[in-house]
Structure 1
Amino acid sequence: MATKLTLRIDEDLIAHAKSYGRAQGKSVSRLVADYFAGLPEQEAPREATRDTPATPLVDSLRGVLKGTRLGREDYLRHLERKHR
């Protein structure tokens, strides 16, 4: 069953989509429907656990702050300097 969908899109993008659609022999509605049909199924979000392997970047950062005495005040000072 086809249902109407309203989208707010920049005029230039609409013009480009119409031009592309004409060249492909498809309406903009068909282009959008084809795009939506090609989207992967939504996966359930994974919960992080201790058993979840870390990414190489996270592994490379392990222990870099070990032995430091950084706390909440240090973080707030950092944010104040960053957002001046």
Structure 2
Amino acid sequence: MDKKLTLSLDERVIEKAKVYAKQHQVSLSRLIEAYLSALIDNKPKDIEITPLVKSLSGVVEIPDGFDHRSEYADYLMEKYR
């Protein structure tokens, strides 16, 4: 059973949402309903691990205290030097 809901949103957001809904041939109400449903029904999906990924598991050892952000920053600095 559908029920009415009143929302207060930024006018620009409403206008952009209307354009998006029209481009995708869906009503703004259905668009918002689908979004809210996706938020509340967000169940973790079972992810199948392929044999290739299983075979690679444990191949690389990462030392304790490894700072991936620092390493990546160093990599980028070297790459774009």
TM-score when scaled to structure 1?
A: 0.47
Higher-helix-fraction structure: 2
